[in-house]
Structure 1
Amino acid sequence: MVAGICAGALAAAVLAVGGGDGAGGYSMRTDAQFAPPGAFVRSAALTYDMKLVPAASWIEVEQRMTSGGATSVRMRVTGLKPGHAYGVHVHKKPCAADPMAAGGHYQHVVSSQAHHVNAENEVWLDFTADERGAGQARAQHSWGFRQGEAASVVIHDAPGSKGGRVGCFTVPFGWVA
């Protein structure tokens, strides 16, 4: 009923299918250190703004999905700019050197109408970094991702639905079959 991950993520991922939340559930946890595009040591986590997302800062994303498709996404970060408020969303495509390559926000109900751009129809993980540059957020939804339509977490320089892209992490999200 629930199944896969997208291949090619350059990060350590721990996957468990059928574990934790009943038969057919899915859970995944992956983490990486941010590096600039073109760095000698490649990373699934890219920084586009070294002041807000310094190289070697860290991100972890966890997804849990029930056999019925309800999904929880949790994100933790360390090493970011202390006291800064960030917007974070699940995006449609993997990260690349061009910050726009990750495409738009994943939407449960796909729409260009403004009233569909919200935390109920998208996965928003906004947070403010503490005095050490750490932060975390969690989003829970009764729906799951469609296959191949959720591939990254993008960090924006401001909370909400707008803001420049300052970091991106390619994530092997699972989907509802």
Structure 2
Amino acid sequence: MKRRPVLLLIGVLAAGLTGAPPASATGSPTGVAVTVARFAPPDQATKAYTYDTALIAPGAAVMVVASPARTSTKTLLSVYGLVPNRTYGAHAHQRPCGALPTDAGAHHQHAVDPVQPSVDPAYANPDNEIWLDFTTDARGRAVVAASVPWRFADRRAGSVVLHAERTATEPGRAGTAGPRLGCATVRF
């Protein structure tokens, strides 16, 4: 696909999420944040990192669109080129991606759990964090959206991390989703 149609698609998606004209493709701290990238090994990556090439092959693609609304934040995650018919966990994390899977930090939480790592369902839940779990189709594609009842203020998330498992919800494991397979830097 050529760059122009991709940017047009992003604009349409961003406008659909916000009901307003889209921001630039680089995102904005006060508007729509958009990341479109292809996964690459850490020594070659700039925006999207693969830490497990068997489950996220180099060249697989990711798009993240995050949009503030009046009292909420809407996030769309689209992937293709992943393992077909497989479930992945995905969440917004505190910091941008880096060479190591842990560089992205913990999950971004609106109300921060005083006990870290957070596994308390009162804090590790899809209303306090941005959860984007998905199952790919037979061609390795998926699109998922999430909406949380808050907007970013002084603390912003810096990435979306793809995990090996669906996100757990039970006490003592809430928010966990197995190893970090890949990461996309997003300017939320």
Would you call these one fold, judging by a TM-score over 0.5? yes
- Match status 1:35 vs 2:40: yes
Higher helix share: 2
Which one-letter code corresponds to 1:97 in the other structure? A
SS in 2 for 1:35: coil
- The residue number in structure 2 matching 1:121 is 128
CA distance in structure 1 between the aligned counterparts of 2:72 and 2:41, rounded to whole angstroms? 34
Which one-letter code corresponds to 2:133 in the other structure? D
CA distance in structure 2 between the aligned counterparts of 1:91 and 1:132, rounded to whole angstroms? 27
Displacement after TM superposition at 1:148 (Å): 4.3
The runs of at least 4 consecutive aligned structure 1 residues that moved more than 4 Å come to: 12-16
Deviations 1:37-84 (A, max 9, x none): 112xx4200000001100000000001112x34110000000001111
Number of equivalent positions:
155
Gaps of 5+ in 1: 1-11
- The one of the two structures with greater contact order (alpha-carbon pairs below 8 A, sep at least 6) is 1
Which one-letter code corresponds to 1:95 in the other structure? C
For 1:117-156, what aligned pairs fall within 5 Å after superposition? Answer: 117-156=124-163
The one of 95, 103, 106 aligned to 1:104 = 106
Q: CA RMSD in A?
A: 2.3
- The residue number in structure 2 matching 1:167 is 182
The one of 87, 90, 94 aligned to 1:88 = 90
| Percent sequence identity over aligned pairs | 38
SS in 2 for 1:26: coil
For 1:5-84, what aligned pairs fall within 5 Å after superposition? Answer: 20=20, 26-39=31-44, 42-66=45-69, 68-84=70-86
- The residue number in structure 1 matching 2:171 is none
SS in 2 for 1:138: strand
Displacement after TM superposition at 1:19 (Å): 7.2
Which one-letter code corresponds to 1:62 in the other structure? V
Contact 2:33/2:186 (CA < 8 Å) preserved in 1? no
SS in 1 for 2:32: strand
CA distance in structure 2 between the aligned counterparts of 1:170 and 1:30, rounded to whole angstroms? 7
Gaps of 5+ in 2: 1-6, 22-29, 168-174
With 136-145 and 55-64 compared, the bigger mean Cα shift is at 136-145
Contact 1:19/1:27 (CA < 8 Å) preserved in 2? no
Higher strand share: 1
SS in 2 for 1:73: strand
Which one-letter code corresponds to 1:158 in the other structure? E
